[in-house]
Structure formats: C-alpha cells, structure tokens
Amino acid sequence: MARIRTFLAIDLGPAIRKRLASLQKELSNDAPDVNWVEGENMHITLLFLGDIDERESITVCRAAQKVTSSLPTFQVTMEGVGCFPNTRRPRVVWMGVSEGADDLVKLHHELEAKLEELGLYRPEMRVYKPHVTLGRIKGEGPHDALVQALAKQQEWAGGEANVREVLVMSSEMTRDGPTYTILGRAKLTGEA
C-alpha cells in the first residue's frame, strides 16, 4: 500500500496569500539566502502527520470531521513576523497570528488528541505556535540583514480570514518544490 505525506491545515484565501507574497518580495532584498514558500502553498499547519498509509487518510478525514463538527467558525488576524528558532540562529521566517491564535491552539490540541487516540499521531515536544511559514533559510549565516528587515516589519499586518474548515492535505516533493493535494475537508459546524 502506498504511503502519503500528510498534514492538517487552514487555508488563508487568495487575498492574504497575495499580501504575504508582497511581504516576501520586500524581505527578499535583505535575504538572498532564503527559499521562499510559493504563494499558493501558504497555509497555517495544524498538525504534520508525516507518511501514513494511504488507507489511513480516510480515518484522518473522519477524525478531523468529528472534531470540527463541535467547534464554531472563527476569525484569524495575520500579524507580526519573526523567525524560528530565534534571531541568533534563524532557520524559518514566519508570519504570526494575533486574533484567533487561541482558537487555533484549541483546534490543534483537539485534533492532536483525537489522532493520537487513533494511533495516527505522536505529539511533538515543542509548543504549538500558529504561524505561516514564509521561507526557509539556507546556510549558517550571518543573517543580520534579514533580522534587521524583520525588526522593521514587526507591525506588518497580513489581513483577516474566517476559519470555516480544516483541510487534510497530502504533500508530494518534486524537483520544483512541494505539490499539495486536498484529501478532505472538515467543516467547523459547532455553535458559538
């Protein structure tokens, strides 16, 4: 049976992706050593499951729907930029979430618990922090210009999106970067 690289995510919509792409372009002047994420691939990852058996994707979709059916829709505001793990050793450039971050953390925890119960997920040691990956940094540095450019963009706002569903996605690595496919949609249909 085939194995597929799987994750659960929130789509941001084309307007926010376009704004984030413009931020990437602005930052790229000070960061020639960053592999920027393609605009259509930008999302908020909730859980990364890794390679799972293709048949298990149906179970993942059903589990996600079970969780989201009891949760109401909510709004997220994309705001703030930074890098992981820190500015001394930046590896990932990200856009943060202000409004709606607590709702994303709750959604993450509920999905995590359900998929762990089914044996399809092993919790990560690090604390979940909702964000959009804008780029991955190549090389060891120094990255002073990038860190200074990010500091200038601390108040940058990416816009607002309504979270109405969780996407179960597959990721196939190609020579031109990852190709994402939607395997299932889990609508948030609970009462507020």
Active site residues: 43, 131
The DSSP call for residue 29 is T
Angle among Cα 30, 36, 39 to the nearest 5 degrees reads 125
Residues near 18 by Cβ (< 8 Å), separated by ≥ 6?
39
- Is the C-alpha dihedral spanning 17, 18, 21, 27 positive or negative? negative
CA distances for 157 relative to 18, 65, 77, 83, angstroms: 12, 31, 8, 16
Q: Are strands 165-174 and 177-187 parallel, antiparallel or unpaired?
A: antiparallel
